[in-house]
Chains A and B, each alone.
Chain A
Amino acid sequence: MTEPQSDADFFASVVAEIENEAQIRATSGEYPRALLRTLDEEFRRWLPDSASQQGIEESIRGIELASYVDPVVPIDSRSRLGRKVKYSIRRLTYFYHRHITQQITVLGIHITRPLRLLDASLKQLSRRLTALEDSLDVNTIEREELLAGLSGGKLTEDLSAEIVTAMSSVAGRILMTDSVDLDLLRSLQNPGQSAYGVGPAVIPGNDDLELRYESATDHLNVLPGQSLAGLILTGMTDRLSLNEQLRTLRKALNKCAPGARIVIIITLPKYWEQLLGPVGADLLDGRPLHPETWVHLLKREHAENIEVYKASDQSSALVTAILK
């Protein structure tokens, strides 16, 4: 019952294209944001708990299985007569046993149901909290319009050189996200290093580089813990809301191994304000953070050797650190 491989490959490639397209649509504001939120909430509400890989589901299932009492009494016996007698008693009393055991089983289900509800409520609460945090910011469409004045911007040569120096001793995977500077990424392709870029913008014709076309958050979600030896955060530091930046930083640091080298690239707030004007600065309050704030945040994460470098033209800055 095997199908031609060409069909399998073709349909798999179409699904991959659809996944990419869906991801763009989900984040681009193409669909009404309020409708998306309602639907996502409804979708998660009924997603089988097993699909969300929560250990609590298995525990509840265990309780449910344990609460099932079998009404069929064993009739094993050494003698044939004994078996027959037990069998007759079982037939005669089966209705009674079944009645009793069903009530016990139903009791078990009634005990686990509140646990399930509690579990579901906690998950819902967590989702609502995240949504509430995000709702403190301007909506996605407005945000995109306001940020249109920001270009991907190339790093100044002096800052690029600082990053290359900072990363020179790093051996292992280095992630640059999510506004990838291709020249910088190329200069990090040294023996023993494996630098790659992740970002939502299409960067065609760079086959010599490992580039992933997805959002930084999605990528960090699937990345194994402590798998990075180096991390370069850029782009998101200029665009994301305060809460989003803090969450991304926390998530990213969780993916870094002890000793990992951290580099955060920031457009300096004064220059950023010049680019976007007072409206953007007012409505997109909380970004970009000052270098001093990043230093504070990294200190709170117990990073060490924290250094700040400002670009010669005062447009941007670097904060480098080593994670303990």
Chain B
Amino acid sequence: MIWDSVHQFVPTLIQGDAIGDYTLWVREKLLEKNIQSEIFVGVENNETQNITHSFGEMEGLTHPSKNTLLLYHVAQASTCAQFILDRTEPLALIFHNFTPPEQLINWDGALADDLMRAERELKQLAERAQIAICDSSYNASALNKLGLINTSVVPLPIRINKPVSVVKPSNDPTILFVGRIAPNKAFQDIIAAAALLRTKIPNVKVRFVGDTSFTSYYSYLTKLVTQLALEDAVTFTGRVTETQLAKEYLSAQVFCCLSDHEGFGVPILEAMKLGLPVIAYNAAAVPETLGSAGLLIDNKSPTMVATAIERVMTDQNLSKAMIAAGEQRAAIFSENHIASKIFSAINSMSDYEN
């Protein structure tokens, strides 16, 4: 089946966010194939409202058709969900997984509540959809627990490129982590390891790149940094531009991800693509994303993490082997390869009964 139009629905579209950037990229690929594509959102965002429409506007902008496919990005609860459930067009879910509510409940009860609602919504959506495209096998297996739905695993593409200008590595040995400041990403574990590592490498630095709007958790982290006297060693950059992000990767010595939950983990692959050795904690979809191209640790106690980082920073042969393996792995997630997998997944929908 060839689709005339494929419209995407997303709770809200944020540029610089993995799901937001992915939604825009999918639209770009659809338009390249002359397939009409609009983005509808549950809540409009000031920065992207000129390229999105509220879901209620769909009636006026499009016409129901058997050759129209709706793609819904599932990552949180949204008013879009009920609207989509009432539509008659074929539906494909793109499942990015949810942060387990129990990892957020001590920090933001309302958000945890919202995620529980999202889990309920997902059950209904899974019954209504023909297929679900999942970022990882981990996500597909979570979805399969809800019932019978055809799933297809298509990872996210890695689009980051080296900046034109030359970036020199930082003079100080630097640990980098990229991700929204959220409790499931366990920033405190990296900070704790850095406190130990400083007793061996006094000039070690840590840079955290990502949105800091989760205020209760961010405030705890800044207090922890002060308590451990690491103010001169730890930096929270907030959100940065694509070029700045690439520079962060290029100037660091090691990328460290200790998240308790990741549905995929784009920054792990971005780090690999830009030649940064990766140490990651074995949780959720992380081992699948990391593959055999980095150090996967089962124990992230401060001593273990500090020892691992020190080893990567001081053992040049190990670091080189990790970089080579990482670059090889990141190549698998090229845009063209992922785009062809997405088209293959949505075109296969004609095989399933509506």
**CB within 8 Å of B: which residues of A?**
1-5, 7-8, 10-11, 14-15, 17-19, 21-23, 25-26, 31-32, 35-36, 38-40, 42-43, 46, 48-51, 57, 60-61, 64-65, 68, 70, 72, 94, 102, 105-106, 109-110, 112-113, 116
Which 10 pairs, one residue from A and one from B, show the smallest C-beta to C-beta distance? Answer: A8-B292, A3-B292, A22-B307, A39-B302, A22-B304, A26-B303, A39-B192, A22-B303, A7-B292, A7-B325
CB distance from B249 to the nearest CB of A (A): 20
Q: Which of B25-33, B41-49, B104-112, B139-147 contacts A (4 or more CB under 8 A)?
A: B104-112
Q: Which of A38, A40, A61, A72 contacts B301 (CB 8 A)?
A: A40
B347 within 8 A of A: no
Show 18 residue pairs from A and B whose CB-CB distance is below 8 angstroms, ordered by the A residue. A1-B332, A3-B328, A19-B297, A19-B299, A21-B307, A22-B301, A22-B306, A26-B301, A40-B302, A43-B192, A43-B302, A48-B102, A60-B102, A68-B116, A105-B117, A109-B109, A109-B112, A112-B105
Q: In the complex, what residues of B have CB within 8 A of residue A2's CB?
A: 291
Q: When A11-B322, A25-B303, A105-B113 are in contact, do A48 and B260 touch as well, CB less than 8 Å? A: yes
Q: Which chain A positions have C-beta within 8 A of B294?
A: 11
B87 at the interface (CB under 8 A from A): no
In the complex, residue of chain B having the shortest beta-carbon distance to the beta carbon of A90: B82
Q: Is B101 among interface residues, defined by CB-CB distance under 8 A?
A: yes
**Min CB distance, B259 to chain A, in Å?**
11
CA distance A46 to B303 in the complex (A): 16
Nearest CB in chain B: distance from A16 CB, A:
11
Contacts of A17 in B (CB 8 A): 311
- In the complex the two chains form, what is the Cα distance from A32 to B200 in whole Å? 11
A48 x B295 contact (CB < 8 A): no
Q: Does B293 sit at the interface, judged by CB under 8 A? A: yes
Residue pair B102, A15 in contact (C-beta under 8 Å): no
Residues of B within 8 A of A14 (CB): 295, 311, 318
Q: B residues near A, CB below 8 A?
A: 82, 100-103, 105-106, 109-110, 112-113, 116-117, 120, 124, 183, 186, 188-189, 192, 195-196, 199, 224, 228, 260, 291-297, 299-304, 306-308, 311, 318, 321-322, 325, 328-329, 332
B120 to chain A: which residues have CB within 8 Å?
A: 68, 70
The answer to whether A64 and B295 have CB atoms under 8 Å apart is no
CA of A221 to CA of B47, assembled, Å: 53
Known: A22-B304, A36-B303. A106 touches B291 (CB 8 A): no
Nearest Cβ on chain B to A226's Cβ, whole angstroms: 26
User: Cα distance A15–B113 when bound, in Å?
Assistant: 38
On whether A42 and B224 interact (CB within 8 A), knowing A10-B321, A65-B116, A106-B109, the answer reads: yes
Q: B308: nearest residue on chain A (CB-CB)? A: A18
The total of interchain contacts (Cβ-Cβ below 8 angstroms) comes to 129
Closest Cβ–Cβ distance, residue B132 to chain A (whole Å): 19
Contact B117 A68 (CB under 8 A): yes
Q: A3-B328, A22-B303 given as contacts; is B116 within 8 A of A105 (CB)?
A: yes
Query: Once the chains bind, are B329 and A3 in contact (CB under 8 Å)?
Result: yes
A197 to chain B, nearest CB (A): 23
Contact A3 B325 (CB under 8 A): yes
Question: Given the complex of chains A and B, what is the CA–CA distance between A61 and B100 in angstroms?
Answer: 10
Taking a contact as CB atoms under 8 Å apart, the answer to whether A110 and B103 are in contact is: no
A263 CA / B245 CA spacing, docked (Å): 61
Q: Is there an interface contact between A36 and B196, defined as CB atoms closer than 8 Å?
A: yes
Q: Is the CB of A46 within 8 A of B188?
A: yes
The listed residue (B228, B293, B297, B311) touching A3 by CB distance below 8 A is B293
Contact B293 A72 (CB under 8 A): no
Instruction: Please report the C-alpha to C-alpha distance between residue A2 and residue B293 in the assembled complex, in whole angstroms.
Output: 10
The answer to whether A31 and B113 have CB atoms under 8 Å apart is no
Least distance between A129 CB and chain B CB atoms (Å):
20
Report whether B296 and A11 are in contact in the complex, using a CB–CB cutoff of 8 Å: yes
Contact of B196 among A39, A57, A102 (CB under 8 A): A39
Q: Are A116 and B113 in contact (CB under 8 A)?
A: no
Give the Cβ gap from A12 to chain B, nearest Cβ, in Å.
8
Looking at A11, A61, A110, the one whose CB has the most chain B CB atoms below 10 A away is A11
Q: How far is the CA of A26 from the CA of B196 in the complex (A)?
A: 11
Indicate whether A110 sits within 8 Å of B109 (C-beta atoms), given known contacts A35-B196, A42-B188, A72-B82: yes
Task: Indicate which residue in B199, B292, B304, B318 contacts A35 across the interface (CB closer than 8 Å).
Answer: B199
Most buried by A among B82, B292, B296: B292
Chain A proximity of B152: nearest CB distance (Å) = 14
Q: How many angstroms between the C-alpha atoms of A110 and B199 in the bound complex?
A: 42
Contact A51 B260 (CB under 8 A): yes
Q: Is the CB of A18 within 8 A of B112?
A: no
| Interfacial chain A residues near B307, Cβ < 8 Å | 18, 21-22, 25
Besides A7-B321, A11-B321, 5 other A-B contacts (C-beta < 8 A): A1-B332, A10-B321, A43-B300, A46-B188, A72-B124
Residue of A nearest to B110 (CB): A106
Using Cβ atoms and an 8 Å threshold, which residues of chain A touch B186?
46
Who on chain B is nearest to A98 by CB? B117
Smallest Cβ-Cβ distance to A45: which chain B residue: B188
The residues of B that contact A70 with a CB separation of less than 8 Å are: 120
**Contacts A3-B291, A42-B224; is A36 near B302 (CB within 8 Å)?**
yes
Smallest CB gap from A109: residue in B: B109
How many Å lie between the Cα of A122 and that of B186 in the bound state? 22
A14 to B295, CA, bound (A): 8
